[in-house]
Amino acid sequence: MATVELRFSALPAHVRTARLVAAAVARQAGVDESILDEVRLAVGEACSRAVGLHQRNGVSSPVRVKLVQQEKRFLIEVGDGVPTPATAHADSNAEEALSFAEANTSAKSGARTGGNGDQATDDTMGLAVISGLVDDLVIGHDEDGGLIRMSWPVADPADDDLP
């Protein structure tokens, strides 16, 4: 069972709430303070992506966030309700984002981009940020839709006893 489970309507305003909850639970679980910013950002990216997917696909079910305190890891799962079998690996998306960034270096035209293009760009950039931040990352799916699993180490309480 998840330590804390969160379900929220796919609205941008709730993503901040998810970030705050995730950071608070991670801190309580023993995730080092220096990593909390990364946890907050990664969860925010995963939730923003899920919100965007729900809105673009007209999915009314909530976005799912599970925060699980394990013995040595703190695990976060962010699930969307969009069945997408073609979930590319994060690294390839990071490469896409980088090529996108390079393409923009020389972009002199295209001042007005279409909404869908911007959304796809945000999505790609979001995955690039997550994959750049999180070492232990799996982008897959479960029976409800896409699922992003991320984990971080937690401080071992036994370490405190060492001289």
Partner 1 sequence: MDLSLSTRSVGDRTVVEVGGEIDVYTAPKLREQLVELVNEGHYHLIVDMEGVDFLDSTGLGVLVGGLKRVRAHEGSLRLVCNQERILKIFRITGLTKVFPIHGSVDEAVAAND
Q: 62: which DSSP letter?
A: P
Q: Would you list the DSSP string of 104-117?
A: HHS--S--S--HHH
Q: Which of 88, 113, 142, 155 binds partner 1 (CB under 8 A)?
A: 113
Determine the interface stretch with partner 1 among 37-45, 56-64, 78-86, 153-161 (rule: CB under 8 A).
Answer: 37-45
Of residues 54 through 83, those in contact with partner 1 by CB under 8 A are none
For residues 133-152, which are near partner 1 according to CB under 8 A? 133
Q: How long is the chain?
A: 163
How many residues in the shown chain lie near partner 1 by CB under 8 A? Answer: 35
What the block records as the tokens of 110 is 């295209």
59, 125, 147, 154: residue in contact with partner 1 (rule CB under 8 A) = 125
Among residues 83, 110, 136, 156, the one that binds partner 1 under rule CB under 8 A: 110
Q: Which member of 84, 92, 101, 140 binds partner 1 (CB under 8 A)?
A: 101
CA distance 136 to 151: 6
Quick one: which of 8, 22, 44, 93 contacts partner 1 (CB under 8 A)? 44
Tokens read off for 141: 């799916």
Characterize 138-152 residue by residue with b for buried, 16 or more Cβ atoms within 10 angstroms of its Cβ, and e for exposed: ebebeeebbbbbbbb
Residue pair 132/152 in contact by the 8 Å Cβ criterion? no
Q: What residue type is assigned to position 17 of the chain?
A: T
The answer to the question of residue 20 lying near partner 1 (CB under 8 A) is: no
13 binds partner 1 (CB under 8 A): yes
Helices (H), 2-144: 13-29, 33-57, 90-105, 115-133
Answer yes or no whether residue 118 interacts with partner 1 by CB under 8 A.
yes
Strand partners, 4: 67
Q: Where along the sequence are the contacts to partner 1 (CB under 8 A)?
A: 12-13, 15-16, 19, 37, 40-41, 44-45, 48, 51-52, 97-98, 101-102, 104-105, 107-113, 118, 121-122, 125-126, 128-129, 132-133
